[in-house]
Amino acid sequence: MAKEIINREENYSLWYNNLVIKADLAENSAVRGCMVIKPYGYAIWEKIQAQLDKMFKETGHENAYFPLFIPKSFLSKEAEHVEGFAKECAVVTHHRLMANPDGPGVVVDPDAKLEEELVVRPTSETIIWSTYKNWIKSYRDLPLLINQWANVVRWEMRTRLFLRTTEFLWQEGHTAHATQAEAIEETERMVQVYAKFAREYMSMPVIVGRKSESERFAGALDTLCIEAMMQDGKALQAGTSHFLGQNFAKAFDVQFANKEGGLEYVWATSWGVSTRLMGALVMAHSDNNGLVLPPKLAPIQVVMVPIFKTDEEHESILIKMNEIKQKLTALGISSKIDDRDNLRSGFKFAEWELKGVPVRIAVGPRDMEKGTVELARRDTLAKEFVSQEGIEIHIQKLLDDIQANIYKKALDFRDANTVKVDDYETFKKRIEEGGFLLCHWDGTAETEEKIKNDTKATIRCIPMENAEEEEGFCVYSGKPSRQRVIFARAY
Amino acid sequence: MAKEIINREENYSLWYNNLVIKADLAENSAVRGCMVIKPYGYAIWEKIQAQLDKMFKETGHENAYFPLFIPKSFLSKEAEHVEGFAKECAVVTHHRLMANPDGPGVVVDPDAKLEEELVVRPTSETIIWSTYKNWIKSYRDLPLLINQWANVVRWEMRTRLFLRTTEFLWQEGHTAHATQAEAIEETERMVQVYAKFAREYMSMPVIVGRKSESERFAGALDTLCIEAMMQDGKALQAGTSHFLGQNFAKAFDVQFANKEGGLEYVWATSWGVSTRLMGALVMAHSDNNGLVLPPKLAPIQVVMVPIFKTDEEHESILIKMNEIKQKLTALGISSKIDDRDNLRSGFKFAEWELKGVPVRIAVGPRDMEKGTVELARRDTLAKEFVSQEGIEIHIQKLLDDIQANIYKKALDFRDANTVKVDDYETFKKRIEEGGFLLCHWDGTAETEEKIKNDTKATIRCIPMENAEEEEGFCVYSGKPSRQRVIFARAY
Of B82, B97, B140, nearest to A86 by CB-CB distance is: B97
Chain A, chain B: beta-carbon pairs less than 8 Å apart: 193
The whole-number average pLDDT for the span B350-375 is 97
Of A30, A62, A90, nearest to B92 by CB-CB distance is: A90
Determine the structural domain holding residue A375 and report its residue range. 295-401
pLDDT at residue A468, as a whole number: 76
- Report how far residue B237's alpha carbon sits from residue B272's, in angstroms, rounded to the nearest whole number: 11
**How many structural domains comprise chain B?**
3
Q: Tell me if A413 is assigned to some domain.
A: no
Residue B192 and residue B133 share a domain: yes
Helix or strand or coil: residue A312? helix
Of B39, B70, B117, nearest to A146 by CB-CB distance is: B39
The whole-number average pLDDT for the span B110-122 is 96
CATH of residue B328's domain is 3.40.50.800
Residue B80 and residue B196 share a domain: yes
Of B36, B67, B105, nearest to A131 by CB-CB distance is: B36
DSSP type of residue A70: E
Residue B299 and residue B281 share a domain: no
Q: Is B95 on the interface with A (CB under 8 A)?
A: yes
Q: Are B117 and B93 in contact (CB under 8 A)?
A: yes
Residue A242 and residue A152 share a domain: yes
- pLDDT tens, position by position, B255-302: 999 999 999 999 999 999 999 999 999 999 999 999 999 999 999 999
Residue A433 has pLDDT above 90, yes or no: yes
Tell me which chain A residues have a C-beta less than 8 angstroms from the C-beta of B144: none
- pLDDT tens, position by position, A365-390: 999 999 999 999 999 999 999 999 99
Report the gap between the CA of A167 and the closest CA in chain B (Å).
Answer: 7
Residue B189 has pLDDT above 80, yes or no: yes
- pLDDT tens, position by position, A284-318: 999 999 999 999 999 999 999 999 999 999 999 99
CA pseudo-torsion sign B242, B247, B252, B254:
positive
Residue B151 and residue B30 share a domain: yes
Q: Tell me if B3 is assigned to some domain.
A: no
Residue A299 and residue A178 share a domain: no
Report the gap between the CA of B440 and the closest CA in chain A (Å).
Answer: 38
Burial of B473 (0-12, 13-18, 19+ CB in 10 A): middle
pLDDT at residue B3, as a whole number: 56
Q: Which helix (H) or strand (E) holds B127?
A: helix B125-135
Among A262, A285, A308, the domain-final residue is A285
Rounded to the nearest 10°, the torsion over CA B426, B428, B432, B438 is 60
Asked if the Cβ–Cβ distance from A36 to B67 is below 8 Å, we say yes
Residue B384 has pLDDT above 90, yes or no: yes
Say which amino acid occupies B374.
E
Among A345, A369, A401, the domain-final residue is A401
Asked if the Cβ–Cβ distance from B69 to A106 is below 8 Å, we say no
Residue A2 has pLDDT above 80, yes or no: no
Asked if the Cβ–Cβ distance from B108 to A119 is below 8 Å, we say no
Residue A92 and residue A44 share a domain: yes
What's the whole-number average pLDDT of chain A?
96
Q: Which of residues 48-67 of A touch B (CB under 8 A)?
A: 62-67
Burial of A412 (0-12, 13-18, 19+ CB in 10 A): exposed
Q: Which residue of A has its CA nearest to B94?
A: A91
pLDDT above 70 covers a percentage of chain B that reads: 99
Other residues' Cβ atoms within 10 Å of the Cβ of residue A336: 15
Q: Which of residues 74-93 of B touch A (CB under 8 A)?
A: 74-76, 82, 86-93
pLDDT at residue B82, as a whole number: 85
Q: Tell me if B290 is assigned to some domain.
A: no
Start-to-end C-alpha separation, chain B: 31
Among A285, A317, A339, the domain-final residue is A285
- Report how far residue B27's alpha carbon sits from residue A461's, in angstroms, rounded to the nearest whole number: 40
CATH of residue A204's domain is 3.30.930.10
Tell me which chain B residues have a C-beta less than 8 angstroms from the C-beta of A131: 29-30, 36
Tell me which chain A residues have a C-beta less than 8 angstroms from the C-beta of B64: 36-39, 42
Q: Tell me if A436 is assigned to some domain.
A: yes
Round the CA-based radius of gyration of chain A to a whole number and report it: 26
Of A74, A91, A151, nearest to B92 by CB-CB distance is: A91
Spatial CA neighbour of B62 closest among B183, B175, B150, B166: B175
CATH of residue B422's domain is 3.30.110.30
Q: Which residue of B has its CA nearest to A113?
A: B91
Q: SS3 helix, strand, coil % of chain B, rounded to 5?
A: 40, 30, 35
Tell me which chain A residues have a C-beta less than 8 angstroms from the C-beta of B75: 97, 106
- pLDDT tens, position by position, A23-74: 999 999 999 999 999 999 999 999 999 999 999 999 999 999 999 999 999 9
- pLDDT tens, position by position, B151-168: 999 998 899 999 999 999
Report the gap between the CA of B320 and the closest CA in chain A (Å).
Answer: 24
A177: alpha, beta or left? (left if phi > 0; alpha if psi -120 to 50)? beta
Helix or strand or coil: residue B232? coil
Q: Tell me if B239 is assigned to some domain.
A: yes
Residue A148 and residue A99 share a domain: yes
The whole-number average pLDDT for the span A476-489 is 96
Residue A112 and residue A260 share a domain: yes
- Report how far residue A84's alpha carbon sits from residue A93's, in angstroms, rounded to the nearest whole number: 21
Residue A225 has pLDDT above 70, yes or no: yes
Report the gap between the CA of A98 and the closest CA in chain B (Å).
Answer: 7
User: For the ranges A99-113, A400-414, B303-317, which has the lowest average pLDDT?
Assistant: A99-113
Residue B246 and residue B369 share a domain: no
- Report how far residue A231's alpha carbon sits from residue A279's, in angstroms, rounded to the nearest whole number: 12
pLDDT at residue A1, as a whole number: 46
Q: What are phi and psi of B185, to 5 degrees?
A: -60, -45
pLDDT at residue A467, as a whole number: 73
Residue B478 has pLDDT above 90, yes or no: yes
Asked if the Cβ–Cβ distance from A63 to B69 is below 8 Å, we say no
Residue B108 has pLDDT above 50, yes or no: yes
The whole-number average pLDDT for the span B364-392 is 97
Q: SS3 helix, strand, coil % of chain A, rounded to 5?
A: 40, 30, 35
What's the whole-number average pLDDT of chain B?
96
Q: Tell me if A7 is assigned to some domain.
A: no
Question: Which residues have C-beta within 8 Å of that of residue A249, sequence separation ≥ 6?
Answer: A129, A176, A255, A265, A266, A267, A268
Q: Give the residue from A25, A56, A69, A117 with the most B CB atoms within 10 Å of its CB, the best one to mutate.
A: A69
> Which residues, in sequence order, are bridge partners of residue B461?
B486
Tell me which chain A residues have a C-beta less than 8 angstroms from the C-beta of B82: 97, 106
Residue A306 and residue A278 share a domain: no
Residue A236 and residue A352 share a domain: no
The whole-number average pLDDT for the span A113-118 is 96
Q: Are A175 and A248 in contact (CB under 8 A)?
A: no
Q: Tell me if B171 is assigned to some domain.
A: yes
Q: Which helix (H) or strand (E) holds A193?
A: helix A180-200
Which is more confidently placed, A84 or A451? Answer: A451
Q: Tell me if A408 is assigned to some domain.
A: no
Q: What are phi and psi of A159, to 5 degrees?
A: -115, 155
Residue A4 has pLDDT above 80, yes or no: no
Q: How confident is the model at residue A76 (pLDDT cuts 50, 70, 90)?
A: confident
Positions of E strands within B121-260: 144-153, 167-177, 207-210, 222-229, 235-245, 255-257
- Report how far residue A88's alpha carbon sits from residue B429's, in angstroms, rounded to the nearest whole number: 58
Q: Give the residue from A24, A47, A53, A68 with the most B CB atoms within 10 Å of its CB, the best one to mutate.
A: A68
Asked if the Cβ–Cβ distance from B92 to A120 is below 8 Å, we say yes
CA pseudo-torsion sign A31, A34, A37, A41:
positive
- Report how far residue A237's alpha carbon sits from residue B345's, in angstroms, rounded to the nearest whole number: 49
Q: How far is CA B283 from CA A491, B20, B159, B167, B290, in A?
A: 50, 10, 16, 20, 10
Tell me which chain B residues have a C-beta less than 8 angstroms from the C-beta of A127: 29-31
pLDDT at residue A3, as a whole number: 56
Asked if the Cβ–Cβ distance from B65 to A88 is below 8 Å, we say no
Q: Which of residues 114-173 of B touch A (CB under 8 A)?
A: 117-120, 127, 130-131, 134, 140, 146, 150-151, 153, 155, 167, 169
